[in-house]
Amino acid sequence: MPEIVVENLYKRFGDVVAVDHISFTVRDGEFLTLLGPSGCGKSTTLFAIAGLDRPDSGLIRVGETNFFDSASGDFIVPEKRNCGMVFQSYALWPHMTVQENLAFPLRLRKVSKKAREQRIEEILRLVELELQKDRYPHQISGGQQQRVALGRALVYSPTILLLDEPLSNLDAKLRERARSWLKRIQGQLGITTIYVTHDQMEALALSDRMAVMQAGRICQVGTPQEIYSSPAEPFVADFIGTSNFLRGDTVGAGDGGTIAVNLEGSDQCLRIKAGKTFAPGTPVLISIRPEKVQVIDPSSGAALPAGNYLEAEVVDRLYYGACYRYRLKVDDIVVRVETEADLPTGTVWILLSSEGCAVFEADPTQDAAAEPPI
Amino acid sequence: MSVRERAQRLAAVGSLGVRKEHLIQYGVTAITACLVLAPLVPVVYTSFLDRPLYDTGGILSLDNYVRLLSDAEFHEVIRDTLYFAFLTTLISVGLGVVMAVVIGRTDLPGRSILGEIMLWPIYLSPLVIAFAWVIMYSPAGYGTLLVKNLLHVQPWNLYTIPGMAAVAAVALMPIAYLYCSSSAAVADPALEDAARTAGAGPLRILLSVTLPLMRPPILYSAVLIFTIGLEVLSIPMILGGPVGIDFFSSYLYNKWLGGAQPDYGLVGAAAVFLLLIVTALVLLQNALLRDTSRFVTVRGKATRPHIFRLGWVRWALSAFILLYVLLAAILPMVGLIMQAFTKFLTPLAPPWRFLTLQNFAVIFSYPAYTRSITNSIVIAVIGGVLTTFFVALIALVAHRSEFRLGRVLDFLAIYPRAMPGMIVGIGFFWAFVLVKPLGPIRNTIWALTIAFSVRYLPVAFGAITPMLARLGAELDDAARTAGADWWTTCWQILLKLLKPALYSSFILLFIQLIKEYGAAVFLVAPGSEVMGLTMLQFWVQGEAGPVAALSLVQVAITMAVVYGSRKIFKVKIYA
């Protein structure tokens, strides 16, 4: 299976830049997810790879073949790219049965009747739809339609597989099942796959690597673990999972890469390992996951561990079964915390361990830390 | 892997496919442009020429326009035409709105049947309706004489402009009814609920919310009806002829066919004049429709409009509508049937005393009559099929390809809406004279088929494009990624899914083509007669009986096709 290379891809619709000079590579057999909010350019990128949208400039190469190259003017029409694609709405042809939907691409490739039937049977077994082959799309359930769409995309052994939010029309339970099923099939076939979604859980669960996109550009590419634990930008920290954001100005550098931060909305000072150096007085944004915040009940008499703690008030809490979600206030700053501990009302200590935090230079024009919902 | 090899072979073949795609797209556009411009260019050209097109040495001048505008008769024609069109629009839109609200939104008894009956006149030629009305209500008509004998006064005079407008309004009211009722039926009830909770009573809601929201269909149908009022030929010919009232269309008709030597230049200038007015109206209509988001009442959520309860008034209203149907449609049709089956029709003696099949025998023994029936059917069937397919192609190229001239094509396909039938006829007359290779089809029914079809391109386009718009673009995308080129996608996926729209396009075209005669006036030749024109010509000669019989034949054919298609293809026409 070939790799997919996208270089400097650029596409605008009127005044709106949909895709702004993005580059990435999908390795042979890899499952890469393009993740981002709606309008971030992820679907445009996918459609450009499929050939359904013509980019303004850049390069798209699959294996040795240039699908699109603005430098040489190469553009291969979609029907000659041999991509398998699953659409958000599945796009099953309503006038054809399941079997006919699968047969159509094979007939276009002039596959003999016998080989065709054999191949269809093989694929129907793979997507577990042998019994539905003579049904029309409207006669089968949403989950089954989604599997037909995948079967149709795989039946002609495509070079690469492109998936455009294929699970977004399924209900929550079914989506979870379909997710692990999809992952299994992709692993079995080892086909190079690009998956587009706005659902972070889906991206985290499915991807070998994921690219987080915003406003036409890629913010970060990495494994799900990398993206979750060390977001490269506040946007990534905010979009993937939930994060607390603390604003402040650096006071000065301490020993061993620690910095001291005067928090905005509080007169407490935070000392933290930043991993990078900041000039004193730099406005910074510190993000931390709610489950990474340690909370200590002062009345428990526990010894305060060495580290960086802040005094906080418990505002309210919600019980989630496996854990509690608290809203705490460090002076004027609201901090969300997820913990199993049953805390008393009143004052607690919270500990921000350095490995759980990410420190960014703040963009003064952006206000990432609005009042968070619990 | 064999599939992979196949894919490569497919890729090799594909490079030819791209060229085929462009060939089709440019081809369709070129043919459409020729068909639409063929009648336009010569009409405009002749209007500036000082002698017939076929004479050499013509000089371009404004002379024709000067003559036209200084012609006192023309001034009168314009005044009468505008008055007639205005009155027709007023009556038919007024009636249409009332019927749409009363039938669509109230608990009127028998509303579904009445709704069906309201649409009947749309299947009939205005020509047939005019015959029927003359037979019943003209000064010497059956109904008029009946009333006159009873009251000993002349009760009404159909041969006046208001009388003519009444006939036209009956024929055209279904258009207003159709537009308004489809909008009334899908209006979001939340808008009315909002008014209700704000304290408005049913009548208040009707006047302040429901009717204002119907403004787009009202305006749209008003402009459409006004346009038709300007160009209708049957009514001035049949009702105006006896008393010398001329409208635009009959003026053109007389200037061309009336004198020994047709005044081509004058006809050209008058045609351009009409063309400009109608084009302006169509542009106005488009502009009116552009800013319609204020009136968006249909949201994704499926709802059902409320029914206004009328109380006892519903019986009175129902009786009123029945009376209208009886007087406007049923009685005249009864008159037409009596005329067809009797030797004389007079209120002085019961019609069964003169019962005869003679009129039908006449039709089937005169070749001119029989030929006009077969010709009309051939034109309607072949024109309907070819136009449907061609317009489907236009729609696919204009709306489902990356073709650069898609918008131009879209405009070309709907422009004939602004071309009155008679002008299409004049235009094609000249086009066939000028373009020598087209000579052989000039005096055949194929000339008529082409002209009629061009005139009704927008009808087919309107039947096909809404359904095309409802087919998600991802169906094409899926086919393209699966390996189908543009043409295969159109052929294997889109056209198959469009089947219901293609059927209704064909039926609509059939209904229009079988009753069309305006464009035939200038193109007809011995051997290529069509029903409408034959009826008109024989009527003018005073042959009421055979014309009535021929009218019934036309109505029977249309009804058979309309109801047959409902049963066989499940086609919903005007849904």
The mean per-residue pLDDT over the stretch B365-378 comes to 89
CA distance A195 to chain B (A): 16
B574 with B433, same domain: the answer is: yes
**Residue B253: pLDDT band with limits 50, 70, 90:** confident
Listed by number, the residues of chain B in 91-130 with a beta carbon closer than 8 Å to a beta carbon of chain A are none
- Residue recorded with tokens 């428990």: A300
B214 with B139, same domain: the answer is: yes
Nearest CA in chain A to B4: A157
Q: Which residue has the higher pLDDT, B519 or B50?
A: B519
Out of A210-214, A364-368, B198-202, B246-250, which region has the weakest mean confidence (pLDDT)?
A364-368
Contacts of B10 in chain A (CB under 8 A): 79-80, 108-110
Whether pLDDT at B433 is above 80: yes
Whether pLDDT at A371 is above 60: no
B516's CB contacts (< 8 A; 6+ apart) are B421, B452, B455, B456, B530, B532
Whether pLDDT at B188 is above 80: no
B436 with B472, same domain: the answer is: yes
CATH 3.40.50.10800 for domain A242-361, yes or no, is no
B32 with B100, same domain: the answer is: no
Q: Which residue has the higher pLDDT, B451 or B349?
A: B451
What total number of domains does chain B contain? Answer: 2
Alpha carbon distance A194, A5 (integer Å): 12
Alpha carbon distance B544, B143 (integer Å): 16
Does A109 contact B14 at a Cβ distance shorter than 8 Å?
Answer: no
Contact (CB, 8 A) for A99 and A140: no
Per DSSP, helices labelled H in B60-208 are 63-69, 72-105, 111-118, 120-123, 126-137, 142-151, 161-186, 189-197, 202-205
CB-nearest to B6 from A78, A85, A111 is A111
Q: What is the per-residue pLDDT for B217?
A: 81
Output the 3-class SS for B179-213: HHHHHHHHCCHHHHHHHHHCCCCHHHHHHHHHHHH
Whether pLDDT at B8 is above 60: no
The mean per-residue pLDDT over the stretch B28-55 comes to 85
Q: Note whether B483 contacts A: Cβ–Cβ < 8 A.
A: yes
Collapsing DSSP states into helix, strand and coil, what is residue B476? helix
Q: What is the per-residue pLDDT for B303?
A: 52
Whether pLDDT at B522 is above 50: yes
Whether pLDDT at A193 is above 50: yes
Does B485 contact A50 at a Cβ distance shorter than 8 Å?
Answer: no
Q: How high is the mean pLDDT of chain A? A: 87
Q: Which residue has the higher pLDDT, A119 or B147?
A: A119
Q: Which two tokens stand for residue B79?
A: 């005044």
Out of A310-319, B49-58, B74-83, B504-513, which region has the weakest mean confidence (pLDDT)?
B49-58
Query: Would you identify the CATH topology of the domain A4-238?
Result: Rossmann fold (3.40.50)
CATH number for B103: 1.10.3720.10
Q: Is residue B564 part of a domain?
A: yes
Instruction: Give tens-digit pLDDT for A53-77.
Output: 899 999 999 999 999 999 998 899 8
**Residue B6: pLDDT band with limits 50, 70, 90:** very low
Instruction: Give tens-digit pLDDT for B65-103.
Output: 888 888 888 888 889 999 999 999 999 999 998 888 888
Q: What is the per-residue pLDDT for B83?
A: 93
Contacts of A156 in chain B (CB under 8 A): 3, 7, 482-483
Give residue B85's Cα distance to chain centre.
16
- Residue recorded with tokens 């079995």: A188
Q: Note whether B568 contacts A: Cβ–Cβ < 8 A.
A: no
Does A85 contact B481 at a Cβ distance shorter than 8 Å?
Answer: yes
Whether pLDDT at B14 is above 80: no
Alpha carbon distance B181, B210 (integer Å): 12
What pTM did the predictor assign?
0.82
Nearest CA in chain A to B9: A109
Whether pLDDT at B10 is above 50: no
CA distance B27 to chain A (A): 21
B308 with B368, same domain: the answer is: no
B382 with B411, same domain: the answer is: yes
Up-side HSE of residue A85: CA atoms within 13 Å toward CB? Answer: 29
Single out the residue of B426, B482, B545 nearest to residue B135, CA to CA.
Answer: B545
Q: What is the per-residue pLDDT for B430?
A: 86
**Residue A373: pLDDT band with limits 50, 70, 90:** very low
B295 with B363, same domain: the answer is: no
Whether pLDDT at A302 is above 80: no
Q: Note whether B3 contacts A: Cβ–Cβ < 8 A.
A: yes
Q: Compute the count of residue pairs across chains A and B with CB atoms less than 8 Å apart.
A: 98
Q: Which residue has the higher pLDDT, B41 or A373?
A: B41
Cα of first residue to Cα of last residue in chain B, in angstroms, is 51
Domain extent at residue B379: 12-45+357-575
Out of B336, B370, B393, a domain closes at B336
B466 with B522, same domain: the answer is: yes
Whether pLDDT at A366 is above 60: no
Does A156 contact B482 at a Cβ distance shorter than 8 Å?
Answer: yes
- What percentage of chain B reaches a pLDDT higher than 70? 91
What does the buried/exposed string (b/e) look like for B27-58 if buried means 16 or more CB atoms within 10 Å of the residue's CB?
A: ebbeebeebbebbbebbebbbbbeebbeeeeb
Q: Which residue has the higher pLDDT, B354 or B456?
A: B456
Alpha carbon distance B411, B415 (integer Å): 6
Q: Is residue B5 part of a domain?
A: no
Q: Is residue B449 part of a domain?
A: yes
CATH 2.40.50.100 domain locations along chain A: 242-361
Q: Which two tokens stand for residue A341?
A: 């501990």
B224 with B326, same domain: the answer is: yes
- Top mean pLDDT of A214-223, A238-247, A297-306, B409-418 is at A214-223
Q: What is the per-residue pLDDT for A253?
A: 64
CA distance A89 to chain B (A): 8
Q: Which residue has the higher pLDDT, A173 or B300?
A: A173
CA distance B484 to chain A (A): 5
B296 with B364, same domain: the answer is: no
Strand order in the sheet with A193-197: A83-86, A160-164, A193-197, A31-35, A209-214, A217-222
Q: Which residue has the higher pLDDT, A208 or B151?
A: A208
What A168-172 contacts at long range (C-beta under 8 Å, 24+ apart), as own/partner pairs, is A168/A88, A168/A197, A168/A198, A168/A199, A169/A88, A169/A89, A169/A90, A169/A142, A170/A142, A170/A143, A170/A146, A171/A142
CB-nearest to A79 from B1, B2, B14 is B14
**Residue A365: pLDDT band with limits 50, 70, 90:** low
Nearest CA in chain A to B3: A156
Q: Is residue B538 part of a domain?
A: yes
Q: What is the per-residue pLDDT for B291?
A: 56
B271 with B365, same domain: the answer is: no
B407 with B459, same domain: the answer is: yes
Q: Which residue has the higher pLDDT, A158 or B185?
A: A158
